[in-house]
A and B are shown apart, each in its own frame.
Chain A
Amino acid sequence: MAQTAHEIRPSFEALTLGIASEVFALDANTVREILEIIPVTEVPGALDFVPGLINVRGRVVPLADLRIKFGMERVENTEDTRIVVVEITLDGEPTIVGLIADKVYEVTEISGASIADTPETGMSWRADYIKGIGKNGDDFIIIPDIERIFTS
């Protein structure tokens, strides 16, 4: 989703989380809850980035691992590992998905003015997976396009 360099994006409340060495920001409004690690049922034959299912309050919810989509190494769960349950729209249907995060930081405001376009070079990831790069103090925050990641 290429946008012009001068366009100011709206500010938004974000949940920041750490995956591998990067910080990601999810729109806080899409986050339903944050869970500690719970038993995961493996789905044989599923795509690598949605390897399993979890039980979220009686719902069967797919568990996705963004690390696979961003070509990051899988790491063992630690006591900081969390599952962030988000509600997204897949092919026009609201769908609940769990995302594995190595660490969950905080809910913070990301100012629209601080959001920069995805640089064309210097990134090893598919540019269309990222809506933009925000800043929180001196840290860079990746704003992923969750819906695009799941539909491509």
Chain B
Amino acid sequence: MSGPGDAAQVYLEEVADLLVQLEESLLGLERAPNDRDLLDTAFRALHTIKGSGAMFGFDAVAGFTHHLETTFEQARKAGLKLTPALIRIALASKDHIRALIERPASLDPAASTNLLALMATCVGEAGVKPSVTPTGGALDEPEGPASWRIRFRLPPDAMANGTNPLRLLDELRELGPCTVVALTDSVPALEAIDPTGSYLAWDVILTTERPKSVIEDVFIFVINDMELRIDRLAEEPGRIGEILVRRGDLKPELAEAAAARQERLGSLLVKDGTVSAECLQSALTEQKHLRTEAGKVTVAPAVNSIRVPAERLDSLMDQVGELVIAQARLKQMMLAFDDAALRGIAEEIERLSNGLRDTTMGIRMVPIGTLFGRFRRLVHDLSQELGKSVQLTMSGEETELDKTVMERLADPLVHIIRNSLDHGLEDPETRRRAGKNPQGTIHLSATHSGAQVLITVHDDGRGLNRDAIRAKALENGLITDDAALSDPELLQLIFHPGFSTAAAVTNLSGRGVGMDVVKRTIESLRGSIEVISPPDVGASIILSLPLTLAIIDGLLVRVGHGRYVIPLSAVVECVELSDDMDQGHKGRNFLNIRGDLVPFLRLREAFRSPLPPDPYQKVVIVSTGERRIGLVVDELLGGHQTVIKSLSKLHANVGTFSGATILGDGSVALILDTAYLVARGQSQDAGRKAA
């Protein structure tokens, strides 16, 4: 994990994070241009991109970012107003930085200059000349020079992380005359010293006309991890002075220029014999004590997270999967022995492996807010492009989802949001005439529902146009003229391959990638998709997705010789296939479940089992969305922790199964693809209706 190649890789990952931060704060600033925290976040991100970029040889990135940073410096210090135009340029610049890093070769060499020129114009219009250097802020300037005691201690790994304490001291010196005292109390014994560790603390007495915020700014990039205490000496007499005043007559000294105070105080007093060396030492000890106390309060909690390559997590997950399988075998084996001690161990291992499984799956979980955040920019850009005013709201950002699922969700969601913006939301004028708020709203939400996560994209636009859908489906031969479709069935048509109602192909949608691709992606994640669109009040697209792709709860069933797993999250109920249901409706495979007709599929026939059916067959009712189907099996074998293994390309043609798993006895069982089976049952249903 070391070496220059890795370091550059780490930089790239870090920049990716920083760019996300930058974008979020920029979008935030667009709404709240005066938010100091957002401004600082943006500035910090820029500064780090620039600094580390220069360190790792990304000179073009560093050079370009420097100018952007300067602009933000002016916003922070010189009151430069962040106009929407400036934010737009900053966002474009952020994209440019990404491009500079990812594909520098394909960039127009003039792009950087053009952007900077635009920015300079914008800054000029905003009323501050770009060349103005940020001199003392006009906001909280103190009256005349003041003296400050700055006490700071960097975290032990500060130098390893690229912070140079000498640079911090130099920056302080630039602010005015100052005296620096290094405190060596924390330096460990020689054999315990880490050569790259930072053990010193510093007391800096600084006299400056600048406000306190300028001093704080020196530490802006390390402030979260360090101990820092800045005291104004005039208001709070220096503790050493205070203590020493009690020990000797120091009033004339205190009246001296504060810049030289500390040095003279210590040396002069000891030299004159006014204060003994021990006395000073004890004052220092007392001071040290106070500092420790103060330090306890000022140390910000360190962020307890580490960055781990995704492959390691994947291999950890694989191994946990193996362990779960081995544990299932052990459990099965245990049943053959009537040994209490063995059972105890087996149960202990079961408990541990379940815990390990849950923890490991938890590691892979990330809050969906990180994904939602990306869409702010999308909505921002699209709404400008389309001339629509759109507000993006979110809820449930903290809902966690497997990282792999989430990554594969990004493209479908982009597509759905684009559709909502392009087709769903009306332009402001139309909305006003319809008595709606001219500003449209797109709401993203995520909630847990059992072992599933429901993600909803809702817009308050015109809703789905049923007549247009029907006309389009007729035109494409998807339905017949006289087809009687229920409303949900009609809406489902938009997921049919090649279906697009956009009258005009816009830049955004209608490019051939349709909702069918979205649907396929969601289904490949073992999820399902649904549309709800009451006329005129907008539309909701609801994605329901499994929490994880790796391990699921399954229902183990037997059909003929074979054993199969049905994902438990899809199972609604199990009923017995009674004789009259089986025989009574000749050739009609429908169950009457509390008044509803549910089609059923005899898996024994579908799998061409040579065995005669069991006398008491069971029906497992499974559903995706609102649609249900019964699967007739010979026997229900019970629940099974299912570690999912994908099928090879050699079995890609088999739609019935979404994967395979290994059972406790070491044999392989296939996992039924319920979405596929439900669709198959429904087409059987449609066939019946057509007949």
Known: A55-B662, A60-B645, A90-B649. 18 other contacts (CB 8 A): A39-B667, A41-B668, A41-B669, A41-B670, A43-B651, A43-B670, A44-B608, A44-B654, A53-B651, A55-B666, A59-B645, A60-B647, A60-B662, A91-B649, A93-B649, A95-B648, A96-B648, A97-B648
Distance in Å from the Cβ of A69 to the closest Cβ of chain B?
12
Whether A41 lies near B562 (C-beta < 8 A) is yes
What are some 17 contacts across the A-B interface (CB < 8 A)?
Answer: A39-B667, A41-B669, A41-B670, A45-B653, A45-B655, A46-B650, A47-B653, A53-B660, A53-B670, A55-B667, A55-B668, A58-B325, A60-B662, A62-B647, A64-B650, A93-B649, A97-B648
Bound-state Cα–Cα, A31 to B416, Å: 47
Bound-state Cα–Cα, A54 to B562, Å: 13
Bound-state Cα–Cα, A149 to B325, Å: 33
Q: Which of B285-323 contact A (CB under 8 A)?
A: 321-322
Q: Does B593 contact A (CB under 8 A)?
A: no
Residues of B within 8 A of A42 (CB): 561-562
Whether B325 lies near A45 (C-beta < 8 A) is no
Distance in Å from the Cβ of A29 to the closest Cβ of chain B?
20
- Which residue on A lies nearest to B321, using beta carbons? A58
Chain B residues in the interface with A (C-beta under 8 A): 321-322, 325, 561-562, 606-608, 645, 647-651, 653-657, 660-662, 666-670
Given contacts A41-B668, A55-B668, contact A62 B650 (CB under 8 A): yes
Whether B654 lies near A43 (C-beta < 8 A) is yes
Whether B660 lies near A50 (C-beta < 8 A) is no
Dominant secondary structure at the B interface: mixed
Q: Which of A31-53 contact B (CB under 8 A)?
A: 39, 41-47, 50, 53
Whether B668 lies near A60 (C-beta < 8 A) is yes
> On chain A, which size bracket covers the interface?
20 to 34
Q: Which of A83-105 contact B (CB under 8 A)?
A: 90-91, 93, 95-97
- Which residue on A lies nearest to B607, using beta carbons? A44
Bound-state Cα–Cα, A41 to B325, Å: 17
Residues of B within 8 A of A43 (CB): 651, 654, 657, 670
Select B660's contact among A45, A60, A64, A150, beta carbons within 8 Å: A60
Select B649's contact among A41, A45, A60, A95, beta carbons within 8 Å: A95
Bound-state Cα–Cα, A45 to B654, Å: 6
Residues of A within 8 A of B649 (CB): 90-91, 93, 95
Q: Which of A48-78 contact B (CB under 8 A)?
A: 50, 53-55, 58-62, 64
Bound-state Cα–Cα, A87 to B130, Å: 63
The 10 closest A-B pairs by CB, nearest first: A44-B607, A41-B668, A60-B645, A60-B660, A53-B668, A50-B650, A62-B650, A45-B654, A39-B667, A62-B648
- Which residue on B lies nearest to A150, using beta carbons? B650
Whether A90 lies near B670 (C-beta < 8 A) is no
Bound-state Cα–Cα, A93 to B649, Å: 9
- Which residue on A lies nearest to B561, using beta carbons? A42
Residues of B within 8 A of A150 (CB): 650
Bound-state Cα–Cα, A150 to B649, Å: 10
Select B650's contact among A41, A44, A58, A90, beta carbons within 8 Å: A90
Distance in Å from the Cβ of B216 to the closest Cβ of chain A?
55
Distance in Å from the Cβ of B654 to the closest Cβ of chain A?
5
Whether A90 lies near B648 (C-beta < 8 A) is yes
- Which residue on A lies nearest to B645, using beta carbons? A60
Whether B648 lies near A44 (C-beta < 8 A) is no
Residues of B within 8 A of A45 (CB): 607, 653-656
Max chain B CB contacts within 10 Å: which of A59, A60, A62, A90? Answer: A60
Bound-state Cα–Cα, A16 to B565, Å: 38
Max chain B CB contacts within 10 Å: which of A42, A91, A96? Answer: A42
